[in-house]
A and B are shown apart, each in its own frame.
With several copies, the nearest count.
Chain A
Amino acid sequence: MADLFTPAPIPAPHTLTVSFDAWEGPLDLLLGLARTQKVDLREISILALTEQYLAFIDSARQLKLELAADYLVMAAWLAYLKSALLLPRQEQPDPSPEDLALRLQLRLQRLNAMRDAAARLMARDRIGRDVFPRRAPEGLRLVKKAQWRASLYDLIATYGQIRARTQPVVHTIAVRPVMTLDEAIQRVGALVGAALDWTRLESFLPPDLDPPKVKSALASSFVAALELARQGRIEIQQDGIFQPIYLRAPMPADHRGPLL
């Protein structure tokens, strides 16, 4: 802020010791020069300002100061403006040099206004420099209180999962609907005595069986028939592969038909 509160060095061509670092570009330099005219910027003579600027640049050149290009561009433009302003009015180019001069004046006014505004802004009572808040406020605290969410479904579903996960898996062997071989031997042995002629194996099955049990009964009865035949208690006949199987009680030897 030192550069703000110390007034810009007022350049005068005969005491030129200015470093160009002090200027923020040619417009800034022009504004500094304009302030030396000590008049309201609205009253400023652009022609006089132009001459001041060009003299300043010349002095700088004689002192072999390094001049940034934009200062030289401004110098060239101002030299043009000066010559145009000096021309008789009817010979002046378009846009008129008066308009150009006015434009420059307006720009200087605006830059000057912002420079003053910046100074007044910086001079305000600033936090941490002029006014102070508490250095260690306790702070307003926002305490977050957990609002736990869980539904009854979550609860019971979770419990079900625990039980399913941790219970030993028990394999139960189902009791199948079967007819045992003993049952079949008894049944077939009893019934075949009553049959006089060849009778199909299926006829010896109990009536009203469930379909799964029918197969079991058929298989058991077949094995029972083989067993009874081996014991000589019945005879078996089948005409070909996959043909019906017939059973009957044993005949006297001469009546015996073809054996299986």
Chain B
Amino acid sequence: MNPEPDDYLRAVEAALFVAEHPLTPAEIRLHVGEAGDLDTALRTLGDQYAGRGVNLVERGGRWHFQTAADLAHILRREKDEPRRLSRAAMETLAIIAYHEPVSRAEIEAIRGVQVAKGTLDVLMEAGWVRPAGRREVPGRPLIYATTVEFLTHFGLSSRRDLPGIEDLRAAGLLDPVDLALEGLTGQSVVENDEEEA
């Protein structure tokens, strides 16, 4: 910085530094008095701070210090926060993956539950779901499909890698919950056994 800023300049600098909002010259003078040439001081300060990390700028007749525009990125630090998808989001994602492209109404029909607006937003924010045009039916509803990031995240080379209904059945993933429970309690489920075989 300049070797010897005079006291008037220092006072202007300090007043602008602590101010809660941009100051008009009149407001600055309320603090620093009339003992100097304010216009010159502001111009000098502007020059001295030009090119630094903090700049003195004038907007609509008010002056304030602000950080240089190119440094905005360092003042906002992003931090990854691992989070689990909600059950509703997971179900919606699964339905889109198996049935894409699907409209919201179709998702609701399959889930048997309404889909909250935020649920699709979360999936789109995660980058796994995208709008894929509109269905050419009355109302022209938006339809949704999965993205390449979806495939990447779940380690799939294509949607065809998703296990089919028969695979799910074989893995026991289609067992209604109550039936599975009955099996666990050791009661006989003989008749159905044969059907499943």
Contact = CB atoms under 8 A, between A and B. Distances in A.
A142 B77 contact: yes
Contacts of A122: 85, 90
Nearest to B22: A133
Contacts of A25: 111-113
A147 B81 contact: yes
A1 B182 CA distance: 37
Nearest to A143: B78
- Measured as residues with beta carbon below 8 angstroms from the partner, the interface class of chain B is 35 or more
Given A139-B20, A140-B20, A155-B94, A124 B174 contact: no
Contacts, number: 258
Given A121-B93, A164-B176, A155 B81 contact: no
A65 B79 CA distance: 39
B168 A155 contact: no
Contacts of A148: 83-85, 122, 126, 128
A118 B93 contact: yes
A154 B91 CA distance: 9
B98 A114 contact: yes
Contacts of A159: 91, 94-95, 97-98, 168, 173
A256 B128 CA distance: 89
Interface string B160-189: 001111001001011111001100110000
A4 interface: yes
B84 A125 contact: no
A180 B18 CA distance: 92
Interface in A148-190: 148-152, 154-166, 169, 172, 174
A102 interface: yes
Interface of A: 1-4, 24-28, 70, 99, 102-103, 106-107, 109-111, 113-122, 124-152, 154-166, 169, 172, 174
